[in-house]
Amino acid sequence: MSRVVVVVGATSGIGRAAARAFAGRGDRLVLAARAPQTLAEVRTECAAAAEVLTVPTDVTTPGTLQALADAAVDRFGRIDVWVHAAAVTAYGRFDELPGQIFEQVVRTDLLAAAEAARVALRHFRATGAGTLILTGSVLGHITAPYLSAYVAAKWGLAGLTRVLQQELRDSPDIHVCLVNPGSVDTPVYQRAANHLGHVGRPPPPITTPQRVARAIVGCADRPRREVSVGRLNPLMRVGFTVLPGLYDALVGPLMRRLGLSDRPVAPHDGVLFVPDPASEAVSGGWLPDPAHLLRVAVGLPGTLGSRLWQRLW
């Protein structure tokens, strides 16, 4: 029997890639995000393979996540998997970042995730089973300058996840998983609030949102406490822990060289307070279209080339 999967943050980046991946498995989907028009687009993308309910949801508004759960149960009778992928970020030196920007990032990335966990786990406790998948970051285990709000939120989420896993030791059929990507080709960098003067970008090596989505689906199939997605994630964590002086000396110059572009930008709030449907997509354009390159290189038909690339990547 197909699962009932809630995906929060389903209109862009990792969340949208995950929605497509679960749809490909034939799971029944409850998709949530702020922009109704983009939710309708994602519903169309998934509806050929899956039954889909869309619920416009602003995760920072009190009560909306409980209303989302109620809508899912009203439609499908239960929730088997809850994926929380809603996230925003902001660039700026901590002392120059407006307080309301810092607070909104933490409210979205940590407090809303905590509320989603509360709602999902109460349902799973009542039914006796379920899997909660939270989207963390390698920046939940290391730090980088100019991303203070995001780092604070993701460190908090990593700690919360560990507590939840400890508290659920008496419930072996209820699982909490944390998926930690490194740099991912999503629009989150362009959509970030920015008070630093330069547009942010993902430092290499950059992975695809589809790869992170496969890790999320993998946790739904075979729950794991924590999954890292990114070739350099283990090395960065070791450097941060074992060689903190060297790490701190290098991370600033590397961030300015690799994590920021030369393109100047005036201060702005990004999508922190108001959604921008025009900027919502799976990919952020930081990588070339790999399926197209593969098709050109080896002359494969379009669908076959895309599938082969996904396996290779």
Distances in Å between the Cα of 203 and the Cα atoms of 16, 191, 250, 255, 257 are 22, 16, 14, 8, 9
User: Helices then strands (H, E): number in the chain?
Assistant: 12, 11
Measured CA to CA in angstroms, residue 88 lies from 128, 139, 190 at distances of: 32, 13, 11
Which sign, positive or negative, has the C-alpha torsion 46, 52, 57, 62? negative
CA distance 45 to 214: 17
In this structure, the number of other CB atoms found within 10 A of the CB of residue 80 comes to 21
Going from the C-alpha of 23 to that of each of 18, 148, 172, 200, 310, the distances in angstroms are 8, 35, 27, 32, 16
Sign of the CA dihedral running 185, 91, 117, 234? positive
Contact 187, 9 (CB under 8 A): no
User: Known catalytic residue: 146?
Assistant: no
User: From the candidates 91, 146, 150, 247, which is the catalytic residue?
Assistant: 150
Tokens 């996540």 found at: 65
d(CA 106, CA 100): 10
Question: How many Cα atoms are found within 13 Å in the side-chain-facing hemisphere of 118?
Answer: 12
Any long-range contacts for 162-166 (C-beta under 8 Å, 24+ apart)?
A: 164/117, 164/121, 164/132, 165/225
- Environment class of residue 249 by beta-carbon count within 10 Å: exposed (0-12), middle (13-18) or buried (19+)? exposed
Active-site residue set: 150
